[in-house]
Amino acid sequence: MTNPTLPSTQTPESVQHSDTNPASASDGPSDFDAQAFRTALSQFATGITIITATGADGRRVGVTANSFNSVSLSPPLVLWSLAHKSGSFSGFQTCTHFAVNVLAADQEHVARHFAQHSADKFIGIETVPGMGNSLLLPGALAHFECRKRSVYPEGDHSIFVGEVERFAFEQKAPLVYQARHYWHSMG
C-alpha cells in the first residue's frame, strides 16, 4: 500500500528531504543546499509568461517568467519577480507599464526565445503596442496590461506589482512548466 499523500510512482524512500533551516541561508555560510532547494521549487507546475516593457531609455525588454501571480481583485493587482542580475532589470526598474503575456501551448518557441540572453530579444518576434509602451504578443492565451505600482527588493530578486488597466484572454490550452520541462496541456 502506498502513502496516499505521495504520487503513486513515489514511495516514502524516493522522496528527497532537506533538514537544513532555510532561514540560515541569509545568515552567511551554511550547509543550505541552494540547488536542492531550486529543484524542490521546480516541482510546482506553473503557466509561463513573457513580461514586456519599454525602459525610460527606450530599450524594449522582455523576460520569460513563471513567477506570475494574482494579488487582488479590488484593485486588480498582479505580481511577478525578476533577478537583480538580469540584463533586463534596469528596463523594468525604469518603465511605467509592463505587459504580462500568458503563453499558449503552441508558444514554447517564444518562451525559449525570451529565456535566452540577447541584446534585442524582439528581433523576429511579432508584437502589438500595449499601454505605456508595453508589448503584446499575438497568440498569447491572455494579456494583462499593467501600470507599475510598486517594486519590492527581496533577496536576489525584486517583486514587481502592477495594477491591471486592461486585459484580454482566449479559451485555449496553456503552456505549462514543471521540473525544468515544458508541457503542452490538452486544454
* Whole-number pLDDT of residue 93: 92
Mind listing the pLDDT tens digit for each residue in 114-169? Answer: 988 877 899 999 999 999 999 999 999 999 999 999 999 999 899 999 999 999 99
Mind listing the pLDDT tens digit for each residue in 50-98? Answer: 999 999 999 999 999 988 999 999 999 999 999 898 878 888 999 999 9
- Residue 86: CB atoms within 10 Å: 16
Residue of 120, 133, 125, 171 lying closest to 55 (CA atoms): 133
Distance CA 145, CA 122 (A): 18
pTM: 0.79
Look at 5-9, 52-56, 149-153, 178-182 and tell me which has the smallest mean pLDDT. Answer: 5-9
- More confidently predicted of 186 and 74: 74
Q: What pLDDT band is residue 6 in, cutting at 50, 70 and 90?
A: very low
- In this predicted structure, the answer to whether residue 15 has a pLDDT above a threshold of 50 is no
